[in-house]
Amino acid sequence: MVGISLVVAFFILAGLVTTLLRYQDRESEAREDALRAAVREATAWDTRVEELGGQWLEQLKSEPDPAEIAAWELRNRERSAWFDGYYLWERDEIDGVDGAAPRMLYPLPALVEDLPTINRSPCMAEAHAVDPEAGVDAVVEAVLRCRQDESPAVALFASVQAGDLLLFEGRPEDALDAIAEPVVPPRLADAARLGYAPLRVALRAVLSADALAATGRPDLAARRLRALGEDIAMQDGPVLQETFKVLRWTVLPRLKDLDADEDALALAEAVRRAERRLAGWQEVRDRLSVNAAPAEGLQLVHDQYSDQPYLLIFGRLDATGLWGAVQLDQPALLDELVERSDELGDSLRVTTADGEVVAGGDDGVIAASASFPRMLTHLRLAVVAEYLEAARTANKWATLREASGVAAMSILGIWALFALKSAQDKEQALIDRQREFVTRVTHELKTPLAGIRVMAESLEIVGAQDPSTIPTFSERIITETDRLTQRIEEILAIARASKPAGPEPYDLRALLEDMVDEWEPRMHTAGVGLEWDLAEIDEAVGDQALVRDALVCLLDNALKYRRKELIAPRVWVRLRQEGDHAVVEVVDNGIGVPPTKRKVIFERFTRVEGPGRGKEGGHGLGLAFVAEAMASQRGRVECREGIDGGARFVVRLPLS
């Protein structure tokens, strides 16, 4: 017993130590999983950036015209949130070395107003010659005549100048009339193709919004300013360089003055993206197009100083000096990376090499991080501790389950020890009782045997001397023999009583015929018709008396739960054979059993209460007895719908 206790204690201790070690292993594995997940994500996204950048640059190798590149640019911006723009230039080679005189093929320079030339035009010269003392109307009239000038630049300049004068004089409606001509496309790119400078078109739109606000139409003014802001924000670098100040320092402040805060907020992100595009264009124009060194594959340059950084993927497109670059919007790229991460979810962060979070939220302790291998090497992909918390929680539950298992096994082990001790005690008690039984039986048998021996010896000695004593001694021997026989019979009777009787074959059809004969008068007296259909079946094997009692219970229920208001209540008893089973049906047209109760009625102490049922059913033990009796005979009973709402009890019993 002591040895077994030590073995159980050893296994309990070993289970606890193993559980602790597995907890530590899962902790380490969770950290390694986080790092592997970060490496997978970083590698996948770096590859995605390189592949898409290469595909976009591949389009430029055919040296398309600027209009075609502009169309590609618009399509790519719609398809990818982080595509920003194209750049294409060529650089001459001198003695095998790239020269420093790049020629920008895309984007083309913006159309810029030549104010000295405009002011020297004959029309504007006449307008300037008008004496200011003649009044504002005279000056405005002279300026408005320039709207008919053949030069689009002069006509637009005159229109804006006249509108400014009239608005300054507090005549907004006249200002709107003044800028109504010439008719200029509202979009900067369309206007530029007709010879109108983007900056002057933008200033004309601002003037129009101011005049609308002054005439009591602030909502229309806000819509015009927002449309202008969105248009400017979509332009390429050269046009942005001319118009960005209007966007930042004129459009946004005027929207706020008009209480159009939602429009200003919606435009703010477009302004930031335009600022990044302008910075990227200046990088290409001033440095990249001049200093980029030929190298195999794609190269990347990034803005490491600005709060609104850009990315430029560039490369040499052919051996003649053709170069191309694609500008990517880094915040949009990183936001999509974080949003599309199914594996790391909300636990993903993108940081700089210094650990500053640039995407994915700014909270959480970094648990693991990985570098981007090829393109985005200035960034790192990090996983915050909350990712480990999920794994840690799962680890705690797993450890708890394992510890519960160890505890359960410990309890079982202790219980087994007590059970073993109890079994040993019972075994010892049984041995003691057996010994006592053997002693008692031995004594009970030895006593008559001793008497018989004494009588036999006396008969041998005395009988020879006095024959008259022989009957006396013989009678006493017979008496002791009877006593011994009685003791043996008592022991055998005890042995026979402890052995259960086995099943016996019986005729189920004959049993049912006897029952019908017995119950038909009782049914008739109660006004119930009893009908039967008993087919010939094979012989059954089991406890005939038990089966009879169960079937009697069903007949009694059919009589008890009849519908007393019926003119002709009926009970049907049927017998048939299905394969190796006998099927007995007791069917009635009585009050029946509700469908929801047709299973629970076979449980002990269950009754179906309701009108017309009364208390005839006792305590709900009859059908429970039927079910248990059938189960003991390897059969079953079930309740179904009877006739006209009555009950149908179907009993299935195995045949021999």
For residue range 299-315, what is the model confidence (pLDDT) as tens digits? 999 887 777 788 999 99
For residue range 437-451, what is the model confidence (pLDDT) as tens digits? 455 456 456 657 766
Distance CA 577, CA 533 (A): 12
For residue range 527-585, what is the model confidence (pLDDT) as tens digits? 899 999 999 999 999 888 889 989 999 999 999 889 888 888 999 999 999 999 999 99
pLDDT at 423 (0 to 100): 73
Contact 199, 207 (CB under 8 A): no
pLDDT at 97 (0 to 100): 46
For residue range 125-146, what is the model confidence (pLDDT) as tens digits? 999 999 888 889 999 999 999 9
Q: What pLDDT band is residue 352 in, cutting at 50, 70 and 90?
A: confident
Contact 558, 526 (CB under 8 A): no
Distance CA 87, CA 237 (A): 10
Distance CA 459, CA 473 (A): 6
Between CA 550 and CA 552, with CA 551 as vertex, the angle to 5 degrees is 90
Residue with tokens 């399509």: 75
For the whole model, what pTM was predicted?
0.58
Contact 370, 344 (CB under 8 A): no
Distance CA 440, CA 456 (A): 25
- Residue 378: closest CA among 351, 360, 359: 351
* Domain residue ranges in the chain: 115-235, 504-654
Pairing of strands 348-352, 357-359: antiparallel
Distant-in-sequence contacts of 353-360, Cβ < 8 A, 24+ apart: 353/378, 353/379, 353/380, 357/382, 358/330, 358/331, 358/334, 359/331, 359/334, 359/335, 360/334
Instruction: Give the orientation angle of helix 152-168 with respect to helix 198-214, to 10 degrees.
Output: 30
pLDDT at 501 (0 to 100): 45
Contact 544, 503 (CB under 8 A): no
Instruction: Give the orientation angle of helix 2-58 with respect to helix 385-465, to 10 degrees.
Output: 150
- pLDDT of 203 strictly over 60: yes
- DSSP code per residue over 477-517: HHHHHHHHHHHHHHHHHHHHHTSPPPPEEE-HHHHHHHHHH
For residue range 627-644, what is the model confidence (pLDDT) as tens digits? 998 998 899 999 999 998
Mean pLDDT confidence for 347-353? 87
Return the CATH architecture of domain 504-654: 2-Layer Sandwich (3.30)
Neighbours of 261 (CB within 10 A): 11
User: Hey, what are 212's tokens?
Assistant: 């609308």
Between CA 355 and CA 360, with CA 357 as vertex, the angle to 5 degrees is 140
Mean pLDDT confidence for 453-467? 67
Instruction: Give the orientation angle of helix 261-283 with respect to helix 330-339, to 10 degrees.
Output: 110
pLDDT at 492 (0 to 100): 45
pLDDT at 358 (0 to 100): 86
Distance CA 382, CA 367 (A): 7
